[in-house]
Structure 1
Amino acid sequence: MTERSGVYNELMSVWTVGPLLSIAMTLAAFLAAQWIFVRIRRPLWMPPVLIAAVLLSGVVALSGIGYEKYQHGARWLTALLGPATVALGIPLYQQMHHIRALWKPILVTLPIAATLAAVYSLVIAWGMGASPMVLASLAPKSVTAPIAMGVSEQLGGSVSLTLGALLITGVLASLFVDWGAKWMKVTDERIIGFALGLNGHAVGTARAFEISPTAGAFSSLGMGLTGVFTALFLPFMFPF
């Protein structure tokens, strides 16, 4: 009996101290969120990533594990964001024919839109008296997570706050795209998709693919180009 208890305690120690618990919790939250999303008839205001975040934060808080222990175990998942960043080159390559065909409007709209996506949040936060750390965290809020995390760290921001801003931005972009398109009488799925990718990153891209494959393709294009532009220019522009 004592020997069995020792083995059990050893297994539990490995489970809680190592990365297994954090990885299992993350995957379980994601699968549960997908199931709930289908059950509640896929509402735009509650995407699976938001459901998973709420479920996971609740489990971490109620179980007493603590954010620090969960983050330490989930560092293996965070390490995968590096390859995910490199993989953004794949959708860019796949949409190269769109870039060639529409390089003029893309060249004009992308720098303006990507800059405004960072500037308006900074202006609002600055007007409300936000600290430099908060400003640095909000600046890359419209960029896909792998790039946004690196930019936020480089600017001196909080990665946790940046990820929260990313989630809110993606959900709001997905929620208001239909209303905005109708209000401005935009029917071209290429424009809608590009706007979703530029402002809503991965969450907006998921919404774009629900609209049509064309919208999804242009959303991938917008997300990739915005990430590249922001990573190159935001660290130089932010001090000004």
Structure 2
Amino acid sequence: MLSPDEQRRYSRQIMLFSEEGQERLKKSTIFIAGAGGLGSPVALYLAAAGVGQIIIADNDLVELSNLNRQIIHFTRDIGERKSESARQKIEAINPEVIIKVHHITIDSENILDLIDTADGIVDAMDNFETRYLLNKAACEKQIPLFHGGIHGFSGQATTIIPGRTACLRCIFPHAPPEETFPVLGTTAGFIGVVQANEVIKYLTGTGMLLENRLLLWDGERAEVDIIAYEKNPNCQVCGNTDDNNVVN
């Protein structure tokens, strides 16, 4: 049940998906991989929306060069753990939310423990090695993966539902070369908000998800394209093989 304060706090969105939908948010746990450019808006908006428990994993410290896009961190936080900085801001925005943070590098040894009983995984990473780990963990746990990626003025987002959609490895069979790429804060904000919106829709059962559809944002032209994609029956993660669901 929602408390009187919660009913007031969420009154404008309860108009959209009722108290039942709000209670679904309250009972949910979301794991956010990364507290950087994408993780910042995702964490802030999910906390504001009333997702009951948020788990964040990030192994970095706040640097001055982060602050053009990682809006959950302030100048005073430089040198602090990103995970702890994020926790402080989330608690300030919504003390009703349970926040768990891990100052840790996500790897094949800890991923399943980190996601624990999460109802969904937000991919807010900047490298495909970790993204593939998140994808395999989501397939093994049969929970959704909310993918986002950014580069300069451009970004992309999709929602992967194991058993219903293609997985991330189907869409991107090979990782692009690693690089230090340009990032604009507004691009991270746009894609992060799309990811948070997908999480909220999934948890409340509202609207149409980006299932088997890749949203492409071109910030220079202010254009959004949607590209349909299909599951690869020979995918090494979600295809018809004997060892699909092993995280390695």
From the CA coordinates, give the structure whose radius of gyration is larger. Answer: 1
TM (norm. structure 2) is 0.27
Greater RCO (Cα-Cα under 8 Å, separation 6 or more): 2
TM (norm. structure 1) is 0.27
Structure with a larger share of its residues in helix: 1
Structure with a larger share of its residues in strand: 2
